[in-house]
Amino acid sequence: MNICKTVEDVRALSTAWHKEGKTIGLVPTMGYLHDGHASLMDIAHRHADKIIVSVFVNPTQFGPNEDLDKYPRDFERDQAVCEAHGVDAIFYPTPQLMYAPDFSTWVHEDSLSQLMCGQSRPIHFRGVCTVCTKLFNISLCDVAVFGKKDAQQALIIRRMVRDLNMPLQIVLAPLVREADGLAMSSRNKYLSAEEHQRALSISKGIFAAQKRYEEGERNADALKRILTESIQKGEGQIDYVVLMDQDTLRPIEQIDRPALLACAAFFGKTRLIDNVFLE
């Protein structure tokens, strides 16, 4: 497995692979890899011949009061996970390499980014779109895989790729849960045992709402209420519970098209997100 620390290193590999007629799949990550990331790598193998994983805690997607400095990092462990999942190369740049001191060009998706996480994290998706554009350009990937756990991010990236005619395919991969139901996230590490137990109220609410949907409930308020009440029972502090059109991310009242039930809530200082695609 190659560890590439410069743009030139990755480009040399990608160019050689393309010359051999191989396709390249990118799995963008911020490291501290868990089974959810591993599943993205496995899915990437189904869509491309060579797999690159980027490990980069992207500073521009963190707001001033967010957890950039204490975001968990463990590159040795990340290497082992990538090795075990047949990854061909890791791109592991420094912030200085990715952002010149006078960096001044941004990619900003203007519609889907306004809602949900965009309301409490105003610069977040500008940072995500910008870094993903850079990673696509650096890796020369043909396919990139994003998890449905970060549903809004995945839908924004898909929109950006369509709007800017970027020459790659975006694959959305299923959300992966811990055995007890909690959606996998690097941030789960911040939860105390007691907060973890209470945070299960999110997945319980998601499962209960999904069951009601499968039984025929199509009223958005009814499904949102199930999730809200469950999180409240777990004493989570709700940031949002929304039911949106999957394409526009605008709220809907009756589910008559592919929809997304999504939430964000704090347990202690940790902000967790979860969702279910209703289609």
- Residues with catalytic roles: 37
Q: Which of 14, 29, 130, 275 is in the footprint of ligand PAF by CB under 6 A?
A: 29
Q: How far is the CB of 263 from ligand PAF (least distance, A)?
A: 17
Q: How far is the CB of 261 from ligand PAF (least distance, A)?
A: 20
Q: Binding to ligand PAF by residue 223, rule CB under 6 A?
A: no
Closer Cβ to ligand PAF, 97 or 222, answer by number: 97
Question: What tokens appear for 152 in the block?
Answer: 């809004």
Closer Cβ to ligand PAF, 71 or 240, answer by number: 71
Instruction: Give the residue carrying structure tokens 């995945």.
Output: 154
Task: Pick the closest to residue 188 from 89, 29, 104, 71 (CA basis).
Answer: 71
Q: What is the rounded (10 degree) CA torsion for 127, 128, 133, 137?
A: 100
What pairing do the DSSP bridges indicate for beta strands 237-245 and 24-29?
unpaired
CA distances from 129 to 52, 153, 155, 274 (A): 18, 9, 11, 21
Q: What angle do CA 53, 54, 60 make, to 5 degrees?
A: 155
Q: Which of 13, 26, 30, 151 is in the footprint of ligand PAF by CB under 6 A?
A: 30
53-72: contacts with ligand PAF (CB under 6 A): 58, 61
Q: Binding to ligand PAF by residue 28, rule CB under 6 A?
A: yes
Closer Cβ to ligand PAF, 22 or 77, answer by number: 77
Q: How far is the CB of 113 from ligand PAF (least distance, A)?
A: 13
Q: Binding to ligand PAF by residue 150, rule CB under 6 A?
A: yes
Strand order in the sheet with 259-267: 237-245, 259-267, 270-278
Binding site for ligand PAF (CB under 6 A): 28-30, 58, 61, 128, 131-132, 150, 153
